[in-house]
């Protein structure tokens, strides 16, 4: 045992007042590895407990990130204390890092801070359906640098967090999932407009996915070139564009069937051409 102790006390390196022995060379990596594994286990244990309590995924994400950062800071400070390294020794290094950040890592720091703002203020949450420019999709993950969005076509996008704060983002589910939609149809001139109004209201109210409050309503929008234009407005619960499009499609199928049963003709573009009989073709 004494021989082992003497072996562990053998000095490998001596810098100023700090002596590095074989024992410390073995102890420090062991503590670092054990502390990192313990931290990961504790974070997983606590996040799983929050998940079982049906806590919002965004809150779980914030807790996991904050726990990792806090745990790593405590672990690093503990290792420095064991090594007898004062924090003032890093003053020069921290100054150099600050200069490097100022010149070469502005975008990284910007996205990092933006990620924490997104997770804390929650203008965009996991499972939200958003539109950014020409792309739209469901938010799957908010990391400290970027946000992962699954587009409606199944492709994954990684969007820098700063872009989500600096540009205009349409969040379909920010407050609730209510969505107003519209189905436009044109009927031929001479149709019974009151009957058309009744049939459109009946179809909209009968659909299982349209809301009773606000209730559907019909607007006689215009006398078109070839048709009388009617707009049917209704509200649905939809977590994305797909839900509204499906309901509109089903309503169009039903409107076509009901109109056919009641003799209402859906108009199509047409022109009347009148020929003057006094005109004659020259031979």
pLDDT band at 183 (very low <50, low <70, confident <90, very high): very high
Count Cβ atoms within 10 A of the Cβ of residue 213 and give its class: 0-12 exposed, 13-18 middle, 19 or more buried: exposed
For residue range 73-91, list pLDDT tens digits in order.
888 878 777 666 666 655 6
pLDDT at 153 over 80: yes
pLDDT at 206 over 60: yes
Query: What is the C-alpha to C-alpha distance for residues 102 and 124, in angstroms, rounded to an integer?
Result: 28
Backbone φ, ψ for residue 240 (5° rounding): 180, 180
What is each CA distance from 244 to 57, 133, 139, 241, in whole angstroms?
Answer: 25, 20, 19, 6
- Number of Cβ atoms within 10 Å of the Cβ of 116: 16
Query: What is the C-alpha to C-alpha distance for residues 256 and 267, in angstroms, rounded to an integer?
Result: 11
| R_g over Cα of the chain | 34
Ranges of H-type helices in the chain: 2-8, 22-52, 57-82, 91-104, 106-121, 161-166, 193-206, 241-261
pLDDT band at 233 (very low <50, low <70, confident <90, very high): very high
Residue 155's region, left for phi above 0, alpha for psi from -120 to 50, else beta, is beta
pLDDT band at 173 (very low <50, low <70, confident <90, very high): confident
What is each CA distance from 98 to 43, 104, 116, 139, in whole angstroms?
Answer: 30, 10, 20, 33
pLDDT band at 13 (very low <50, low <70, confident <90, very high): low
Domains located in the chain, CATH noted:
8-85 (no CATH), 122-171 (2.30.30.60), 178-261 (3.30.70.100)
């Amino acid at each position: 045992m004494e021989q082992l102790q003497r072996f562990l006390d053998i000095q490998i390196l001596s810098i100023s007042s700090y002596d590095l022995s074989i024992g410390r060379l073995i102890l420090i990596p062991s503590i670092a590895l054990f502390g990192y594994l313990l931290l990961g286990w504790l974070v997983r244990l606590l996040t799983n407990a929050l998940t079982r309590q049906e806590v919002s995924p965004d809150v779980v994400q914030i807790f996991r990130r904050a726990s990792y950062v806090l745990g790593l800071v405590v672990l690093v400070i503990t290792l420095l204390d064991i090594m007898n390294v004062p924090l003032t020794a890093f003053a020069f290094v921290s100054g150099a890092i600050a200069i490097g950040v100022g010149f070469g890592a502005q975008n990284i720091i910007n996205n990092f801070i933006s990620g924490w703002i997104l997770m804390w203020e929650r203008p965009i949450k996991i499972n939200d359906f958003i539109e950014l420019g020409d792309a739209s999709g469901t938010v799957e993950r908010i990391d400290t640098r970027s946000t992962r969005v699954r587009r409606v076509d199944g492709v994954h996008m990684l969007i820098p967090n700063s872009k989500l704060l600096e540009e205009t983002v349409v969040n379909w589910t920010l407050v609730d999932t209510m969505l107003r939609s519209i189905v436009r149809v044109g009927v031929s001139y001479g149709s019974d407009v009151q009957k058309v109004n009744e049939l459109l209201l009946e179809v909209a109210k009968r659909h299982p996915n349209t809301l009773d409050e606000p209730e559907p309503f019909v607007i006689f929008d215009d006398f078109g070139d070839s048709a009388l234009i009617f707009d049917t407005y209704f509200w649905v619960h939809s977590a994305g564009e797909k839900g509204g499009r499906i309901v509109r499609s089903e309503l169009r199928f039903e409107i076509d069937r009901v109109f056919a049963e009641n003799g209402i003709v859906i108009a199509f573009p047409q022109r009347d051409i009148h020929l003057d009989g006094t005109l004659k073709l020259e031979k």
